[in-house]
Amino acid sequence: MPTQTQRKTVSRPPAAQMRPSRRPPRAIRVQQAAPDVDLGGLTDHLGYLIRRAQLWIFQDFIRRLAVLDIRPAQYSVLAVIKANPGLSQMALAHALGIERARVVHLIDALEARRFVRRQSSNRDRRSHALHLTSEGQRALLRIRELAAQHERHLAEKVGVANHKMLLRLFAVFARS
Amino acid sequence: MPTQTQRKTVSRPPAAQMRPSRRPPRAIRVQQAAPDVDLGGLTDHLGYLIRRAQLWIFQDFIRRLAVLDIRPAQYSVLAVIKANPGLSQMALAHALGIERARVVHLIDALEARRFVRRQSSNRDRRSHALHLTSEGQRALLRIRELAAQHERHLAEKVGVANHKMLLRLFAVFARS
């Protein structure tokens, strides 16, 4: 509904760009549903659509990062450790909203690949301070290149203006 | 960037409504990250933000539907069987983008609760035609009421106008 307080902004994308393309996404691995299956009102639920979108996005990420054998959660862990050297597993789990046990498992795998090392913390001998190794730092550089390619592909898919708008809109969930 | 083709529409929400609220979401169970943890650029990735949003949305759904002991995937299955009586497990799996084995497991649980029954298909004796029982039909009515409450809560959280816009934008992923 238009209101008297509606402001005109120059940064808003044209209405035509707000609408997603009608054609189905490219490079989808999930088999297409038979077109005569009625989704029974599920498409009125944002949660359903966001879950499908998330699966599509993660599949694209996994495919593009397959040459480096890196999945989304591993990338998240490496990026946050890089930005916070010495972080504890607990703090990492909180920051990413991942269960503690899963973080331990993720770190185990990244340690086995010599990307991450655990150091006994000075403050608390039971906890570990996480650091990237120099090999981990180098790997992260390559990972970031492919992650950026993935992001550009996603921006093309939803529209560059929509992509920016969505990043702004969903920022509220970043630490939810 | 404004362009000459930019159209003015009356249905576009005011710019102020496009921005999510700065205050953190209510009723979050996941522990808040320490504010000094740097997310290392992850918030520039739509996939990261959408994953966090999806987790928030599913947690809200699970909490509101807890009295009926129904989770998002169970609701999806019931809604699609209701809309397509006699559907096969294979077609259901395709429509929802869920792995076949997981659908079998979901149907097992819903059959044990007498919400769903499997009937041998006339066309193919190995496959099963899925139907809601009358108990399943009644349960789905109650489930839909709470699911609608959840959706209204979500619309309040992101803004009613944003909610509509997001449903339109993500429709492209509905059958991805």
Both tokens assigned to B33: 């990250």
**Which run of H or E residues covers position A131?**
strand A128-132
Look at residue B36 in the predicted model and tell me its pLDDT: 82
Q: For chains A and B, what is the number of CB pairs under 8 angstroms?
A: 271
Q: Do A37 and B1 touch (CB under 8 A)?
A: no
Lowest mean pLDDT among A132-141, A147-156, B56-65, B124-133: B124-133
CB B129 within 8 A of CB B81: no
* Shortest distance, CA A133 to any CA of chain B (angstroms): 17
Higher local confidence (pLDDT), A147 or B123: A147
For residue B131, is pLDDT > 50? yes
Strand-pair partners of B87: B130
Look at residue B39 in the predicted model and tell me its pLDDT: 95
Residues of A in contact with B50 (CB under 8 A): 50, 53-54, 57, 166, 170
Does the complex come out with an ipTM higher than 0.85? Answer: no
Q: Do B1 and A12 touch (CB under 8 A)?
A: no
Look at residue A175 in the predicted model and tell me its pLDDT: 79
The 10s digit of each residue's pLDDT in B64-87 is: 999 999 999 999 999 999 999 999
Look at residue B125 in the predicted model and tell me its pLDDT: 62
CA B125, CA B118: separation in Å to the nearest integer?
12
Of A7, A20, A46, the CB nearest to B163: A46
Mean local confidence (pLDDT), A2-25 = 39
The 10s digit of each residue's pLDDT in A89-129 is: 999 999 999 999 999 999 999 999 999 999 986 666 667 89
For residue A71, is pLDDT > 70? yes
Higher local confidence (pLDDT), B126 or A82: A82
Average pLDDT, chain B: 83
Axis-axis angle for helices A46-64, B72-83 (nearest 10): 110
Picking from B99, B172, B102, the residue whose alpha carbon sits closest to that of residue A56 is: B172
Which residues 101-140 of chain B have a CB within 8 Å of chain A?
none
Look at residue B31 in the predicted model and tell me its pLDDT: 40
Residues whose CB is less than 8 angstroms from the CB of residue B95 and which lie 6 or more positions away in sequence, other chains included: A33, A34, A37, A39, B80, B84, B87, B175
Q: Do B170 and A30 touch (CB under 8 A)?
A: no
What pTM does this model have? 0.76
The 10s digit of each residue's pLDDT in B4-51 is: 333 333 333 333 333 444 444 333 333 444 568 999 999 999 999 999
Touching check for A167 and chain B: CB below 8 Å? yes
CB A64 within 8 A of CB A148: no
Q: What percent of chain A has pLDDT over 70?
A: 76
Look at residue B35 in the predicted model and tell me its pLDDT: 63
For residue B98, is pLDDT > 90? yes
